[in-house]
Amino acid sequence: MEEVAGCGIDIEELSRFRTRLPSPEGIPGFAELVYTQEEITSNLGSNSDLKFPLCFSCKEAFFKALGVSWMNSNISWKEIELLFSDNNNIFDYKIRLSGYARELFEKMKCHNFESHLEFNDEFVVFQIVLLS
């Protein structure tokens, strides 16, 4: 039987990302700190004003589910990736862990996780549940 090993939820206000979004014209320095090149490439295009905040929210939610933050662990923002598969379907995505994020996930004896996202005109919400 699966057990819940950790749970994280994050909410972000969309307006705070308006000046922080990558675009074909350029990538703000903040975005370079947080998103991988693959995230930037896959999330540019339609709905990028939703995808990038969701991406950030997913990373925050995962940090919380792992019980750490970027400031008190070796885990980098770029070791938790949210990649949207389809430009027109926000709900078609995959989450990929690497490096120390993957290491901690396995150390917690997790074998899977569930994720859920929601959004409206003002906010995005992401939830991660780790399963062991």
Partner 1 sequence: MGKINENTRSEVKEIVYKFFSEECEVDVSTISENTNIITDLEGDSLMFLELIEIFKKKYSLNIELKTIAKYIIRHPVETIGQLVDTQMLMIEHENNLVNL
Point out which residues bind partner 1 (CB under 8 A).
12, 16, 20, 28-30, 33-34, 56, 60, 69-74, 76-77
- CB-wise, 77 or 113, nearer to partner 1? 77
Specify the residue, 70 or 123, whose C-beta has the smaller distance to partner 1: 70
Shortest separation between residue 54's beta carbon and partner 1, angstroms:
14
Q: Measured from the CB atom, is 50 or 131 closer to partner 1?
A: 50
Helices (DSSP H) in the chain: which residue ranges? 29-34, 37-43, 48-66, 99-107
CB of 74 to partner 1, least distance (A): 7
- Residue 86 CB, nearest distance to partner 1 (Å)? 27
Indicate the residue among 5 and 61 with the shorter CB distance to partner 1.
61
**Cα separations (Å) of 37 from 31, 34, 79, 82?**
10, 10, 12, 12
25-57 burial code (b ≥16 CB/10 A, e <16): eeeeeebeebbbeebbebbbeebbebbbbbbbb
CB of 111 to partner 1, least distance (A): 27
